[in-house]
Chains A and B, each alone.
Chain A
């Protein structure tokens, strides 16, 4: 298609004219970020997802600065003398998400509502938890865990899966068999069980949970990119690069992966949602983040005992997980549409 489409233009070009644009430009320029973004802008679902993701990421960033960065800075005298400490911003301007207040009633409902524990107040717009801590504050600080875990676990899975899948697909033969069979062995074990096994081996530390979820998602990415690589490696530009003396490593890195990355990017976006859900599930079971650090899954778990008396305590973290996961899925779907020209028009 491309060949016949362009020959008419060649006559013009050869005279010294600037190359004219082709009909297939629209499809080919999907490699550009600007094009992808313009596609998403025209897609309300994806845009909605993006807005929610941006909002949640903003919250998470704020929470990370307040909870983690300040915690680290407080170790140094220079900063400590100005009063820098963990949850500095929250405690100065608002309310501590982790300290149990002495006089605040426990399990208050959202502001205007009333339940067996008392009348909700605007001081705690979403109510208080079983220790009297503000739910809104804990939700905000819980977003840090959700987003971080989703992003890090996905990056681990994406990098691992891309390397394994690209190497397997590019070399083919025995290398392919060896790597893909190993990866499929992982695939055969149910995701959740695999992650639990990692935790059993390495401990319930959040870092291991994230890496565990990441490793467990390697097969998905590896299989996805391998199938793309198998077709990309037959392209003439790969052969041209080989003929020009480019190392295999650089061919894979610069020519193979960038041309087969689109589906991985889409899957990655969807995977963030899944990872958030998995880690929330693990927190619910008591793995992952340990109290008093707030996380949505853990709040959900704590709220179980008082679900009848104060249903709001369960609804808020559940809603946060739902909204975030759905947002990532909506954005992922939009991204898929934007990156896959076959679905366009």
Chain B
């Protein structure tokens, strides 16, 4: 079965006064029909930017500078290179108008993080829902109204026809998020991108909404990309997971293999920093240090400054996620050199790097500073080397 969404080596950079921020730097993943794909990572890992890039919603000073995004045979992002290596947007890319008329809302919908801000305060909730249905489904006002009321009922708003005429401020945060979910699903898109939709809600409501989304997903057969920093949410809702670190993909696997057969030290560290119902530990281990800034990523593997398994070779080579799956596993990719049989590097012969807990922060900082030189090309050079 072909994936409905293919993202290949997507690069989205922000051109700021301080330099180029490589928010998304070569990310690839697929979404198949009727599955929920998670994108997990710490704040600043580039999850949201990656999600917005799929819809081409990245705003100035950011822009998509490379890679490909294909959705059901349509080319959302594509670049071609001329003989000088200059990249230009390829002609098969959908125009902004086509994006607006064919993709946004109709085929791919997005649910944003902040339910309090995502509804226009001067119009009624029902009016906004109706407007979106009218635009994206080509139906008349009364038909759109019926659909809107049905959708509100569907997402669990009590007395939907009475609440239809209420303004957003008359809804609580949880109910507003339900409205936004209704809005996303109302036009029966093939793919919904949920950008941390439950982060602003408390856990009780979060649980209810996750359950509701799972039900609706089953009913409509919609695919989801679920962006979150919460491994608990991932475990609950996702079929497959992509773990992002500093604009790149660290690990990609089915949710079960990711939790029980973790193959990247970053994912390990993320899981160790969370309480887990299936494991009893003395104390939680937070990840050492802070994520370096994407403006000056460290050379080599981006996680080596905080990685407990880092070796000298990690400073030189930035691995891409490769298939490291075991014999009876679906594709499990990890971007870590410790799988040396796959990456063909001398990992075990290389000297370990000390990343002490106390020094973690400083190490991260120093490396980012030295990384500045390499950032302009060195990183990709070494990436290419690892591909051999």
Contacts and interface: CB of A to CB of B under 8 A. Distances in A.
A19 B180 contact: no
B173 A247 contact: no
A243 B104 contact: yes
Interface string B145-164: 00000000000001100010
A242 B172 contact: no
B208 A3 contact: no
A153 to B, nearest CB: 27
B298 interface: no
A22 interface: yes
B208 A14 contact: yes
Contacts of A24: 169
Contact of A258 (B110, B117, B122, B204): B122
Nearest to A259: B122
A245 B106 contact: yes
Interface string B115-148: 0111111110000000110011000000000000
Interface string B85-124: 0000000000000001101111001101110111111110
B135 A244 contact: yes
A10 B174 contact: yes
A28 B116 CA distance: 12
Contacts of A2: 116
Nearest to A233: B59
A34 to B, nearest CB: 12
Given A3-B116, A244-B105, A10 B110 contact: no
A16 B159 CA distance: 9
Interface string B171-195: 1111100001001000100000000
Contact of B173 (A7, A17, A245): A7
A240 B201 CA distance: 19
A236 B112 contact: yes
Interface in B306-322: none
Contact of B180 (A240, A246, A259): A240
A254 B128 CA distance: 10
B115 to A, nearest CB: 9
A104 interface: no
A18 interface: yes
Interface string B43-86: 00000000000010100100000000000000000000000000
Contact of A254 (B123, B163, B167): B123
B261 interface: no
B174 A255 contact: no
A7 B112 contact: no
Contacts of A241: 120
A24 B163 CA distance: 19
B274 interface: no
Interface in B188-216: 200-202, 204-205, 208
Contact of A240 (B118, B136, B163, B170): B118
Given A18-B159, A237-B118, A6 B112 contact: no
Which of A16, A17, A18, A19 has the most chain B CB atoms inside 10 A of its CB? A19
B118 A242 contact: no
A231 interface: no
Nearest to A255: B120
Nearest to A232: B120
A243 B60 CA distance: 16
Contacts of A22: 169, 172
A226 B135 CA distance: 27
A243 B122 contact: no
A173 interface: yes
Nearest to B113: A236
Interface in A4-61: 6-7, 9-14, 16-22, 24-25, 28-29, 31
A255 B135 CA distance: 15
Given A172-B60, A243-B104, A244-B132, A259 B158 contact: no
A7 B201 contact: yes
Contact of B120 (A21, A172, A237): A237
Given A10-B204, A244-B105, A259 B120 contact: yes
Interface string A193-232: 0000000000000000000000000000000000000000
B50 to A, nearest CB: 15
Contact of B170 (A7, A21, A258): A21
A258 B112 CA distance: 22
A26 to B, nearest CB: 10
A174 B120 CA distance: 27
A236 B118 contact: yes
Which of B101, B175, B208 has the most chain A CB atoms inside 10 A of its CB? B175
B172 A245 contact: no
A131 interface: no
A160 B119 CA distance: 28
A16 B136 CA distance: 30
A75 interface: no
B363 to A, nearest CB: 35
Given A10-B205, A237-B117, A254 B172 contact: no
Contacts of A18: 158-159, 163
Contact of A31 (B110, B122, B187): B122
Contacts of A7: 173, 201-202, 205
Interface string A103-144: 000000000000000000000000000000000000000000
28 contacts: A7-B201, A7-B205, A9-B172, A10-B175, A10-B205, A11-B202, A11-B204, A13-B205, A14-B174, A14-B205, A19-B163, A22-B169, A22-B172, A28-B121, A236-B117, A236-B118, A237-B118, A240-B183, A242-B57, A243-B57, A244-B104, A244-B132, A246-B105, A246-B132, A255-B120, A258-B120, A259-B120, A259-B121
| Closest 5 A/B residue pairs (Cβ) | A245-B105, A245-B104, A236-B117, A28-B169, A244-B105
Given A6-B116, A242-B104, 13 more contacts: A3-B116, A6-B172, A11-B205, A13-B172, A21-B170, A22-B172, A237-B117, A242-B57, A243-B105, A244-B109, A244-B187, A245-B100, A259-B122
